[in-house]
Amino acid sequence: MGGYGDVKLLREDGKRLDGRAIDEMRPVTIEAGVLPAADGSAMVTHGLNVAVAAVYGPMEAHPRKIQRQDRAVIDVRYNMAPFSTGDRIRPGFNRRSREISKVTAESLESVVLVERYPRSKIRVEIEILAAEAGTRCAGITAASVALADAGIPMRDMIVGVASGKIEDTVVLDLDKAEDNYGQADLPVGILPNTGEIAFLQMDGDLSVEEYNLAMEYNHKAAKEIHEVMVDALKRRYEGGEA
Amino acid sequence: MGGYGDVKLLREDGKRLDGRAIDEMRPVTIEAGVLPAADGSAMVTHGLNVAVAAVYGPMEAHPRKIQRQDRAVIDVRYNMAPFSTGDRIRPGFNRRSREISKVTAESLESVVLVERYPRSKIRVEIEILAAEAGTRCAGITAASVALADAGIPMRDMIVGVASGKIEDTVVLDLDKAEDNYGQADLPVGILPNTGEIAFLQMDGDLSVEEYNLAMEYNHKAAKEIHEVMVDALKRRYEGGEA
Amino acid sequence: MGGYGDVKLLREDGKRLDGRAIDEMRPVTIEAGVLPAADGSAMVTHGLNVAVAAVYGPMEAHPRKIQRQDRAVIDVRYNMAPFSTGDRIRPGFNRRSREISKVTAESLESVVLVERYPRSKIRVEIEILAAEAGTRCAGITAASVALADAGIPMRDMIVGVASGKIEDTVVLDLDKAEDNYGQADLPVGILPNTGEIAFLQMDGDLSVEEYNLAMEYNHKAAKEIHEVMVDALKRRYEGGEA
Amino acid sequence: MVELVPSLLRQELNRLAAEGQRIDGRGHFDVRDVHLEVDCLYNAEGSAKVVWGDTIIYAGVKFEIRTPWPDRPAQGSLMCGAELRPVAHRKYEPGPPSPESIELGRVVDRGIRESGCIDMGELCIVPGEKVWGVMIDIHVLSDGGNIFDAAGLAAIAALRTAVVPAERFDVGEDHTLKVNGTPIMASFKRAGGRFVYDPREEEELGGDERIHITLGDEGHLHSLQKGLKGVFTPEEFAEILAVAEQKCSELRKMVAEKEGN
Amino acid sequence: MVELVPSLLRQELNRLAAEGQRIDGRGHFDVRDVHLEVDCLYNAEGSAKVVWGDTIIYAGVKFEIRTPWPDRPAQGSLMCGAELRPVAHRKYEPGPPSPESIELGRVVDRGIRESGCIDMGELCIVPGEKVWGVMIDIHVLSDGGNIFDAAGLAAIAALRTAVVPAERFDVGEDHTLKVNGTPIMASFKRAGGRFVYDPREEEELGGDERIHITLGDEGHLHSLQKGLKGVFTPEEFAEILAVAEQKCSELRKMVAEKEGN
Amino acid sequence: MVELVPSLLRQELNRLAAEGQRIDGRGHFDVRDVHLEVDCLYNAEGSAKVVWGDTIIYAGVKFEIRTPWPDRPAQGSLMCGAELRPVAHRKYEPGPPSPESIELGRVVDRGIRESGCIDMGELCIVPGEKVWGVMIDIHVLSDGGNIFDAAGLAAIAALRTAVVPAERFDVGEDHTLKVNGTPIMASFKRAGGRFVYDPREEEELGGDERIHITLGDEGHLHSLQKGLKGVFTPEEFAEILAVAEQKCSELRKMVAEKEGN
């Protein structure tokens, strides 16, 4: 979290700069099956964020040494396009994207029935085309829908969602300015059917009470986003336009 | 093409700055069998350019995944020595050398009888020791002679040659200044026996008519260079000094 | 060698700046078995240098192409921690550490009975935690003790030791200032039982006579350090505190 | 097995070619459906999305301020790069840029650069001190064949709708980038023995050499590139060059229409 | 074979857990022996060595002078990195930083950075010109399990004993670095179905997900991270958070004691 | 199979050594034919080509202007690097610099640097602002054995004929680089149990340790390096050192003669 300026993030009417209420999410749209070359795919817009996920596989895992005898490995690449941010990003992985790729892969392994595909590999490619705070969550949501679109069996979806703290107030779903000048960010991946957590990161400053409130907001928002996810898949499979 | 200055490249007598006529090539010398450690080799001087090519193989292609069941793969590396240019080049491949290596390899695959050597690899190493515009063409010529010197069967040689445009005039074989301040460059690889094209790049500005004239010059020059190539191989095999 | 200043390195009483005599070594302490995760390990402090070595193996050598049918390969990595020097070192190998790793590995191969372990690999990891001139020698000494601690059979140990030249005077065991402003450095690896040399580097300026004197000092110091090495292994195996 | 499919496919392509047919029913110089969308990405100063058959490509333009090269103190710079990331197809693997992606970026770059559509002098802010660096990044999301033409189209469309973000860098007011021309690429692939325009994925697998032609508004050649194994005759080139002129004109019109919107 | 051991180990961990036991006899929230040593390395401006069970980790602090970022002209910077080099365990291979080592470095970095214990404004020397860059490097020499907590402890202890080498850089007198707080990490691992604190190596092999919690002096959360496969419930998190508060307090006291020495 | 050849070769080398012979008929301290050519490459500011038996090596010198290191404001710099590229032998593979090529470059570099033949102070243009950086690049085109001595010879010959391109950089008139001395390397390899001078390729395959000695004009040692597996005795070193003195003198004369041309 930046938190180094005196930037006002809450208006006098208690709303946020973009007019949202404290527990209000940015608009989310999802489309499944957007990439013809992939086995499964999805595009998520979350506010001004644009995240695309492609799934390939299950396929033979090679080289051999990455194979697991009893399950599939999930190979995730989270990548920000060079033009996705204010200043251009040099192509290629950096430390941030490697870390997000790792924990996203581990989250998805928690829900995919990997034991169905021993010795195989499932490739999940997450591409951020436009970033406005919250890309890792949009990426997890997109990856979940893309896996479902590819017909990969899962015990549940994962919904990516975040809450945070600005001006000592817990709010749902930080936007760019709130992320830059806020006090805490708590992105999580929630299993909508059980409420369990498969993805968790947090930085900044939160008391235990603030943490609990932020998680409450997150669980509420996860339900909303889950409906959009289900809807996208329905449109895809019920002969909707892909 | 640079083309950003007001540099005069044609003299009042219609000749070029170095005294060449518009359709006159720089002098070319070729020696085959110059590198004792290689299976085949050649050194080409073309103007002040110096290009050396070494051929190793056919040898077993490994790792396995690069093997082709029905043919040999040709592995070309075009490399400029650090001291070959005005400003020193940092050792290691760059984007330009990778692109030239790729299209050079694909050109050579077009003439080498690769189907004679299934599952094998032929290594072609092109080293530029001095650069004065036209190194990719000198490299292709050197590679052709080195392949012949190595006894690799080919359905034809490839002759590397270029024409271009300076001061709105099509000319044969640009030198350094003409390359820097000229308007177009059209390097090609020509099969001398059939007149077919195996290598083609071009940048700058050429009308269709100018393109046709430039190609005419190229075909003419290819014949001249081909004679020097054949001569070098004759000297090599007829007990000439290597 | 630096040698570019007018720095005084010898006092009027003939002693060196830190009070040592010309043929006097910095204090050396050695402890074996310091790293629980390793098969063998040692920590050497030599003056203010701190070198730690870990040995893993013999283990299967892979990938296959590094295997030797008749012997083990010894894989050495010499690495300086980022905080080990005056200016922080960027993590990762550099040319200096690659060269030292290579010649250290070749030295250790000269004494380890590698023919006992065909097709296998022995990993030797040398980590410099603090550097005050002489780290490659401290690393060789640490590696020898770690190999012995791991129970790897050797025909002899190797003792790392260096002499050099400051103010036209041959001295034993250069410290940081002497290394920066001195005239020559002669680091060697000596087999204590035979007096043979397994490691040799030198840079600077030495006449043949100066070389001979520097080597005389080195042989003398090697005997002293060898006693400390033996003592460390005794403490380790005779139920001493590890 | 990987080897087998192409050889069967090659037979099929030959059979179709002999009957004057093509795997998807097109004539040999017909194009697939092409959709172009511009100004579609937050944070990019210019952007375009091209859906070309099953191929989907985004291009984004970013600006930076840099010090000019000492030998060209009053000139800015243009750079075009492409990434063929694993998202785009099962066949692409992670790792450093492949020769394919380098070739793609450089061929598109040369077509735009050599057309002269960007006047490098106009990118100068303070001579010898500050110039604009313009960077076009091509991002292939789905490779369904003929990514070269789709990438070239996305790149020039993104460039032509780019806004120079002068305010963000405190060097004046935002203004549209001046682009003098619309270079367009047309690519041909030998499939079944003859050349076809706009190859789809299967035609690229089974075929031989590939020729990329970039033409400017006046029909001049600005970039040529032959890729892959194979040779061609001067007569073959003359034929496809004539086709290219027509195809490039049509796509150039499409770009102009989108700008009107 | 590599696959077999974890599955047998998992059975054993399950059996032990069912009996309320742990592989080394500890209770599920007990810690191993922890030894901390500070100011132990020549050349590092701050240093610490942590021996935590069979895990041994050094951390070293170095300073450099740099020009500030244009948008933060009066702020220095802090960076924390970790190397999991082959010295530390048979399982680590040479090569570029692994995802594991990047995660380790970044989780420790966030815990320290987000606690606010370093005031970036205090690292300013001349606004817009010169600021201090503080770099903490974590060097794992022996991985016997729970390297995250050991690394976090070594990093903050090294930082709290660091001396700013102003004299060497000719910008004033050497002085101790001001550090306002002692963020401490507590890590929990699912093993045998329930969470345990301070997992040892075998528990990491056989177990599932891992949760890292960094708490500040007031008990506020500054960094959270879930690693590895698996999920957890809000109730489980509440339980381990309470344990973390107590564990972090104890380690914070250990750091304070060492500084007194 | 790769393993077999060296062991047969080793037997043969032992047999020959026992008879006082060598695989190509030379005596054990005899050198092969050495040809030196200087000033042979356009664009290099100094260059040399060495043909040493079947070994062919080029060296080229380039200059750049750089800002001096803060702690040596009036000193330029010298750097020598070597590339063992796949062109030179079937055994060399593409990729980042191998340990062998790094060792080659660094051993040649130390020999030249430590001889003091380049006065770094003479490379200063404007103290604290501009100094010359001199870069010698060694390019091995054909490895027929003993590339170290051939590389060292090419490097010093290229350096001794280099012209400082001051005009191109607008800092005065071109002038020859001042080089005070001619450090020369002599390399010895154990083959058949004893040391031989100037090993050819087969002797390098079958042999053991290798010793590189660089001597200056006065016969002083400036660089030593032992490479490869094996040990040697002080007595062995004394013998080869004496041989090195004579061999280096002869090559030093050859360099002087070429400069005369």
Cα–chain center distance at F152:
2
Chain A residue with the nearest C-alpha to that of E228: A106
Confidence of residue D10 (pLDDT cuts 50, 70, 90): confident
Q: E220: which residues sit within 8 A by CB, 6+ positions away?
A: A205, A206, A207, A208
Q: Is-contact C174 C137, C-beta < 8 A?
A: no
* Residue type at D26 in one-letter notation: R
Confidence of residue C3 (pLDDT cuts 50, 70, 90): low
Across the range B21-45, mean pLDDT stands at: 98
Q: How much is the mean pLDDT over chain D?
A: 94
The pLDDT tens digits for F141-178 are: 999 999 999 999 999 999 999 999 999 999 999 999 99
Query: CA of B146: which chain F residue's CA is closest?
Result: F87
Residue A8 DSSP code: -
pLDDT above 80 for D6 = no
What count of Cα atoms within 13 Å lies in the side-chain half-sphere of residue C221?
Answer: 29
pLDDT digit string, tens, across residues E218-251: 999 999 999 999 999 999 999 999 999 999 999 9
- Please state, in angstroms and rounded to a whole number, the distance separating the CA atoms of residues E31 and F64: 59
The answer to whether A165 and A212 have CB atoms below 8 angstroms apart is no
Domain boundary assignment for chain D: 34-260
Chain E nearest C-alpha distance from A78 (Å): 13
The chain-wide mean pLDDT, for chain A, equals 95
The contact set of B with F (CB < 8 A) is 34-39, 48, 50, 52, 54, 56, 59, 77, 79, 81-88, 91-92, 123, 125, 127, 129-132
HEC string for E39-57: CCCCCCCEEEEEEECCEEE
Q: Verify whether the Cβ–Cβ distance B199 to D209 is below 8 Å.
A: no
**Residues of chain F above pLDDT 90, percent:** 84
Distance in angstroms (rounded) separating the CA atoms of residues A82 and A98: 16
- Residue B211 to chain F, least CA–CA distance (Å): 31
Please state, in angstroms and rounded to a whole number, the distance separating the CA atoms of residues B25 and B19.
11
Q: What tens digit of pLDDT does each residue of B7-28 get?
A: 899 999 999 999 999 999 999 9
The pLDDT > 90 percentage for chain D reads: 84
Q: Note which residues in 49-78 of chain E have CB less than 8 A from chain C.
A: 54, 56, 58, 60-62, 64
For B22-179, list the strands marked E by DSSP. 28-32, 40-46, 49-60, 73-80, 120-130, 159-166, 169-172
pLDDT average, residue stretch D187-203: 92
Report the alpha-carbon distance of residue D183 to residue A9 in Å, rounded: 46
Chains touching chain E at 3 or more Cβ pairs under 8 angstroms? A, C
Q: What's the whole-number average pLDDT of chain B?
A: 95
List of chain D residues whose C-beta atoms are within 8 Å of the C-beta of residue B204? 114, 222
User: Does residue E58 contact residue E139 with C-beta atoms inside 8 Å?
Assistant: yes
Q: Six-digit token pair at E79?
A: 């960076």
Beta bridge partners of F97: none
D abuts E (3+ Cβ pairs < 8 Å): no
Contact criterion met (CB below 8 Å) for C224 and C21: no
pTM here is 0.95
Give the tens place of pLDDT for each residue, E150-177: 999 999 999 999 999 999 999 999 999 9
- Closest of F94, B65, E113, E130 to residue A4, by C-alpha: E113
Please provide the CATH number assigned to the domain covering E34-260. 3.30.230.70
Tell me which chains share at least 3 CB pairs under 8 Å with chain D.
A, B
Strand D130-142 relative to strand D55-66, pairing: antiparallel
* Residue F125, SS3 per DSSP: strand
Q: How far is the alpha carbon of D259 from chain B, nearest alpha carbon, in Å? A: 26
Cα angle for residues D116, D119, D123 (degrees, 5° grid): 145
Contact state of C201 with F227 under an 8 Å Cβ cutoff: no
Residue A153 lies in a domain: yes
Q: Do C196 and F219 touch (CB under 8 A)?
A: no
Best to test chain B binding among F1, F66, F87 (most B CBs inside 10 Å): F87
CB contact (8 A) between residue A201 and residue E224:
yes
The reply to whether D96 touches chain A by the CB within 8 Å rule is yes
Partners of D60 in beta bridges:
D47, D137
Range of the domain at B85: 28-238
Of the candidate ranges B52-56, C6-10, C19-23, C52-56, the one whose mean pLDDT is the lowest = C6-10
pLDDT of residue F206: 63
- How crowded is residue C221: how many other Cβ atoms within 10 Å of its Cβ? 24
pLDDT score recorded for residue F210 = 96
Least CB–CB distance from E142: residue in C38, C84, C129: C38
Q: Is the pLDDT reported for residue D1 higher than 60? A: no
**Residue D44 touches partner A, C-beta closer than 8 Å:** yes
Q: Is F256 on the interface with C (CB under 8 A)?
A: no
D177 — phi, psi (to 5°)?
-70, 135
Compare CB distances from B91 to F41, F44, F83 and report the shortest one's residue: F83
Query: D69 to chain B nearest CA, in Å?
Result: 13
Q: D touches B (3+ CB pairs < 8 Å)?
A: yes
C-beta atoms of E62 and C79 within 8 A: no
Q: How far is CA D252 from CA A128, B208, D178, in A?
A: 29, 19, 17
Partners of F3 on chain C (C-beta within 8 Å) are 68-70
| CA closest to C156 among chain F residues | F231
pLDDT of residue E1: 34
What is the distance in angstroms between the Cα of F72 and the nearest Cα belonging to chain B? Answer: 24
Judged by 3 or more CB pairs under 8 A, whether A touches F is no
8 Å CB contact between B110 and D233: no
Alpha-carbon span A102 to E210, nearest angstrom: 13
b/e per residue F34-73 (b: at least 16 CB within 10 A): bebbbbbbbbbbbbbbbbbbbbbbbbbbbbebeebeeebe
- As a whole number of angstroms, the distance between CA F198 and CA F30 comes to 7
Domain with residue A200: its CATH number is 3.30.230.70
**pLDDT digits over F78-107, tens only?**
999 998 999 999 999 999 999 999 999 999
Cβ distance F87 to B127 less than 8 Å, yes or no, reads: yes
Average pLDDT over residues D12-24: 86
Chain A within 8 Å of E226 (Cβ-Cβ)?
yes
The per-residue DSSP string of A118-166 comes to TTEEEEEEEEEEE-SS-HHHHHHHHHHHHHHHTT--BSS--EEEEEEEE
For F225, the closest chain C residue by CA position comes to C201
Q: How many domains does chain C have?
A: 1
Question: How far apart, in whole angstroms, are the C-alpha atoms of residue F34 and residue F146?
Answer: 12
Look at C200 and F223 and tell me if their CB atoms are within 8 Å.
Answer: no
Q: Does E102 touch chain A (CB under 8 A)?
A: yes
Task: From chain E, pick out residues whose CB is under 8 angstroms from the CB of A200.
Answer: 211, 224-226
Cβ contacts below 8 Å, chain A against chain E, sum to 100
The reply to whether residue E60 touches residue C87, judged by beta carbons under 8 angstroms, is: no
Yes or no, beta carbons of B195 and D233 under 8 Å apart = yes
A77:D135 CB<8 A: no
Is the Cβ–Cβ distance between D186 and D149 less than 8 Å?
yes
Q: Which residue among F3, F100, F231 places its CB closest to the CB of C198?
A: F231
Tell whether D91 lies on the interface with B, counting CB pairs under 8 A: no
In chain E the first and final C-alpha atoms are separated, in Å, by 49
Tens place of pLDDT for every residue, chain A, 242 residues? 655 457 889 999 999 999 999 999 999 999 999 999 999 999 999 999 999 999 999 999 988 888 998 899 999 999 999 999 999 999 988 999 999 999 999 999 999 999 999 999 999 999 999 999 999 999 999 999 999 999 999 999 999 999 999 999 999 999 999 999 999 999 999 999 999 999 999 999 999 999 999 999 999 999 999 999 999 999 998 864 44
Assess if residue A16 is contained within a domain. Answer: no
Residue A129 Cα, gap to closest chain D Cα (Å): 7
D204 and chain A: CB distance < 8 Å anywhere?
Answer: no
pLDDT tens per residue, range F37-88: 999 998 999 999 999 999 999 999 999 999 999 889 999 999 999 989 999 9
* Average pLDDT score, chain F: 94
Best residue of D57, D61, D87 to probe chain A, by most A CBs closer than 10 Å? D87
Contact C77 E43 (CB under 8 A): no
- Write down the pLDDT at residue B5: 55
Q: Residue F237: its chain C contacts at CB < 8 A?
A: 197
**Which residue has better confidence, C146 or B69?**
C146
Is residue E74 within 8 A of residue E109, CB to CB? The reply is no
Q: In chain B, what residues touch F64 (CB-CB under 8 Å)?
A: 87-88
Rounded Cα–Cα distance for residues B160 and B189 (Å): 5
User: Is there an interface between D and A (3+ Cβ pairs < 8 A)?
Assistant: yes
Q: Number of residue pairs across B and D with CB atoms under 8 Å?
A: 100
